[in-house]
Amino acid sequence: MNNLLKPDYYFKSIYDIDLKWLNKQNIKNVILDIDNTLVCWGAKQIDDKGRTFIEELLKEGFRVCLLSNSSAKRVKNFISNDKILYYTGFGIKPMKKKFLGAIKLFDNNIEETCIIGDQIFTDILGGNRVGIKTILVDPIDSREFITTKFFRRLEKKIKVDLRYS
Cα four-point dihedral sign 120, 100, 54, 29: positive
Identify the CATH number of the domain defined by range 3-162: 3.40.50.1000
Q: How far apart are CA 161 and CA 159, in angstroms?
A: 5
pLDDT tens per residue across span 38-87 = 988 878 888 899 999 999 999 999 999 999 888 888 887 777 667 777 66
Q: Examine the pLDDT at 11 and tell me if it is beyond 80.
A: yes
pLDDT at 1 over 60: no
DSSP 124: I
Amino acid found at 13: S
pTM of the entire predicted model: 0.86
On whether the CB atoms of residues 45 and 77 are closer than 8 A, the answer is: yes
pLDDT for 80 equals 66
